[in-house]
Amino acid sequence: MTKQTNTPELRFPEFKNEWSKLTMNDFLMEDKQYGTQKDTNFPIVTSSRQGLYIQNKYFEGDRSFANKNVTFSIVPINYFTYRHMSDDDIFKFNINKFNTPILVSKEYPVFTVKNTFSQNFIFYELNNNIRFLKFCRIQKKGGTRTRLYFKNLLQYQTYFPNYEEQQKIGVFFYKLDQQIELEEKKLELLEQQKRGYMQKIFSQQLRFKDENGNDYPEWKKKKLDDVANYRRGSFPQPYGNKKWYDEKNGEPFVQVVDVDKNMKLHDKTKQKISDLAKPKSVKGFKGDIVVTLQGSIGRVAILQYDAYIDRTLLLINSFKIKMNKNYFKYVLYLLFLREKERAPGGTIKTITKAVLSNFEIDIPTLEEQNKIGMFFNEIDNLIELQNNKINHLKHRKQGLLQKMFV
């Protein structure tokens, strides 16, 4: 058993003192101010795991008129707030970084810290320390939700360095978060550029030229049935029967959850199929195309490895005409996107065979298909590199958090 110490594994070299065990009651101060939007004109904000968001931007539709006379808690600038209920024992503490006080639900506690403690250090302590997660779990008193009332938060004990070391740790992670945020904005810009190019290229506002600078022939339209051979995957029922799975010796089994947003499968599937289930499923081979038909509908991937395919996915394993697979996957993605946009509320529960057979595919020459497929592949490679960079930074942050806190 590892002996508990009161200093972290990794420290800035100028600090040598022991950390002190303190209770949150020693330095957190609750703030109870209330007001309506009509009286204060402060924005109404939702506290989420992604941060604080203006309510009208976070939810669809304008709720401001209905909320004008509702009483809210006021969160002054640089004060903390959090949603006090959780379905998975995780709570996200947010700091008001808007240039104005904000309004949140009266159910959300609001608090600040004494001047002799670092706000940033406490932010990372509450949001990232495993010790605090364990504390939250013991707050569960039955039912499906955990409630962390402010009076209970005040009972949490942990170790703190002196103010100077708190400050240095807090600023260090704040700068690391700023770097992650900057890289995420670069990723968002790349994804926006991709969407813009897709709209213009597949609507033929932008066209590639041939090697001599001449226009390619006009695109033709064909039904999906005339372009590709496809079928739904399959899997024996019920899903929960353990005999259908073999994690040790089984082969990859692709479900909706295994198809990533970057048009690839995850490196490993969540589950592996047993020999007993294989005859009741459908096998896809490396290079085949799959598209999700339920759940996260319209995710497309070219298989990087042989795998059995679930009935919630469509498998395209050959073509009836000359077709570049990379071009086809982007066309398919766009078709499903348009289908979702036409659906009530932008949501589809599933795609039927009748709808699939009526999908119309725009068919350029094979040479132009190759150029379009290569162009978007290059953008996707940039997006993947940027994603990897962000994941590396987040992984580095998590490793440092574990080593620099007690």
- Residue-wise pLDDT for 250-306, tens only, equals 999 999 999 998 889 999 999 999 999 999 999 999 999 999 998 888 899 999 999
Please report which confidence band the pLDDT of residue 101 belongs to, taking 50, 70 and 90 as the band edges. very high
Give helix then strand counts, H and E, for the chain. Answer: 11, 23
Q: How far are the Cα atoms of 202, 205, 285, 335, 386 from residue 196, in angstroms, in the given order?
A: 10, 11, 32, 15, 18
Structural domain boundaries in the chain: 20-160, 166-210+367-406, 220-363
The CATH-assigned architecture of domain 20-160 is Alpha-Beta Complex (3.90)
Topology (CATH) of 166-210+367-406? Helix Hairpins (1.10.287)
Tokens of 167: 């400050």
Please report which confidence band the pLDDT of residue 1 belongs to, taking 50, 70 and 90 as the band edges. very low
Region 209-231 average pLDDT: 94
d(CA 33, CA 45): 15
CATH number of 220-363: 3.90.220.20
What's this model's pTM, rounded to 2 decimal places?
0.84
Look over the chain and give the mean of its residue pLDDT values, rounded to a whole number: 91
Compare 151 and 59 and report the one with higher pLDDT: 151
d(CA 153, CA 176): 27
pLDDT at site 60: 52
Q: Do domains 20-160 and 220-363 have the same CATH topology?
A: yes
Tokens of 351: 């795609």
341-344: list long-range contacts, CB under 8 Å, 24+ apart: none
d(CA 156, CA 25): 8
pLDDT at site 349: 66
d(CA 281, CA 300): 20
Q: Which of 50-64, 152-166, 188-202 has the lowest mean pLDDT?
A: 50-64
Compare 246 and 62 and report the one with higher pLDDT: 246
- Residues 16-68: pLDDT tens digits? 999 999 999 999 999 999 999 999 999 999 999 989 999 876 555 555 445 67
Q: What are the phi and psi torsion angles at 133 (to 5°)?
A: -60, -40
Q: Are 34 and 42 in contact (CB under 8 A)?
A: no
pLDDT at site 68: 76
Residue 292, classed as helix, strand or coil, is strand
